[in-house]
Amino acid sequence: MNVDTERTITLTVNGIPREATVPVRRLLSDALRHDLGLTGTHVGCEHGVCGACTVLVDGEPMRSCLLLAVQLDGASVTTVEGLARDDHRGGQVLHPVQEAFRECHALQCGFCTPGFLTTIAAGLEKRDNSAELTEEEVDDMVGGNLCRCTGYANIKKAVHTANAAMRDGS
C-alpha cells in the first residue's frame, strides 16, 4: 500500500464492521458500490444535487458522492441495503418506508429510490410521530431529492403512509 495514495479504513456498514484499502481520492459512493459491493446506493449526478446516493452517516442523511471514503474511517454508515431488519427466521422485515413506497407506487425506474428511502427513513425516525405530519414537513423531507419518473405525488403519499405505520407500530 502506498500511504501517500491509499489508506486502510474501518467503518461499520449496515451494522457490520468492514475494512477496505482505498485510494485517498475514492468517493464514498464508489467505495460502497465497488469496494464493498453494496450497489444499492446509486450515483445520479456526482455533484451532490440529485440525492440518489444519499446514505446515513451516524444516522444523518449525507450525499456519498460528496464524501471521500477516508473521511468515514470509524463512522457508521447505513445504506438502502441496511434499512430492512432481519427477522428470526432468516428473512427480512422491510422498513415502513420501503413498504409504503411499494404500496403507494412511489417508484418507477427505481434509480433515485434508495436516496429517497434513506432520507425519509432518517426524517421519520427523527420526528415525534405522535405529532401530525404536515405537508410542509413532507415537502422539506423529500425536497432535496430528484426523481424524473414519478412527479413526486406518490412519494409524498408514501411518506404519510410510512409515518402512520411507524406511529401505529411504535
- Asked whether 118 and 61 are in contact (CB, 8 A), the reply is yes
Closest approach of Cβ 75 to other proteins, in Å?
A: 19
> Dihedrals φ, ψ of 66, to 5°?
-110, 5
Quote the cell numbers at residue 50.
440529485
Closest approach of Cβ 58 to other proteins, in Å?
A: 20
Closest approach of Cβ 24 to other proteins, in Å?
A: 11
Residues 6 or more apart whose Cβ sits within 8 Å of residue 78: 13, 14, 55, 56, 59, 118
- Asked whether 63 and 54 are in contact (CB, 8 A), the reply is yes
Closest approach of Cβ 144 to other proteins, in Å?
A: 7
Closest approach of Cβ 133 to other proteins, in Å?
A: 15
- Asked whether 114 and 80 are in contact (CB, 8 A), the reply is yes
- Considering beta carbons, is residue 94 or 164 the nearer one to other proteins? 94
- Considering beta carbons, is residue 11 or 120 the nearer one to other proteins? 120
- Considering beta carbons, is residue 74 or 86 the nearer one to other proteins? 86
- Type of residue at 86: D
- Considering beta carbons, is residue 89 or 130 the nearer one to other proteins? 89
Binding stretches for other proteins (CB under 8 A): 23, 25-26, 33-34, 37-47, 49-50, 52, 79-81, 83-84, 92, 94, 98, 101-103, 105, 107-114, 117, 139, 142-156
Which of 104, 8, 126 minimizes the C-alpha distance to 56? 126
- Considering beta carbons, is residue 11 or 112 the nearer one to other proteins? 112
Edge-to-edge strands of the sheet including 6-13? 16-23, 6-13, 76-78, 54-57, 60-63
